[in-house]
Chains A and B, each alone.
Chain A
Amino acid sequence: KAGVTQTPRYLIKTRGQQVTLSCSPISGHRSVSWYQQTPGQGLQFLFEYFSETQRNKGNFPGRFSGRQFSNSRSEMNVSTLELGDSALYLCASSTSGRETQYFGPGTRLTVL
Chain B
Amino acid sequence: AQRVTQPEKLLSVFKGAPVELKCNYSYSGSPELFWYVQYSRQRLQLLLRHISRESIKGFTADLNKGETSFHLKKPFAQEEDSAMYYCALQAGGYQKVTFGTGTKLQVIP
Q: Judge whether B108 is part of the interface by a CB distance below 8 angstroms.
A: no
Interface residues of A in 21-67 (CB under 8 A from B): 31, 33, 35, 40-45, 48, 50, 55-56, 58
Q: Which of A35, A42, A98 is the one whose CB lies under 8 Å from B100?
A: A42
Chain B contact patch, size range: 10 to 19
24 A–B pairs (Cβ distance < 8 Å), ordered by A: A31-B94, A33-B97, A35-B99, A40-B101, A42-B100, A42-B101, A43-B86, A44-B99, A45-B97, A45-B98, A50-B94, A55-B94, A56-B95, A56-B96, A58-B96, A90-B44, A92-B44, A97-B94, A98-B90, A98-B94, A100-B34, A100-B49, A102-B45, A103-B43
Judging by beta carbons under 8 Å apart, are A45 and B96 in contact?
yes
* A35, B86: Cα distance in complex, Å: 13
* A92, B96: Cα distance in complex, Å: 12
Give the number of A-B contacts (CB < 8 Å): 47
Q: Judge whether A101 is part of the interface by a CB distance below 8 angstroms.
A: yes
* A98, B44: Cα distance in complex, Å: 17
Contacting residues, chain B, for A35 (C-beta < 8 A)? 99
Contacting residues, chain B, for A48 (C-beta < 8 A)? 96
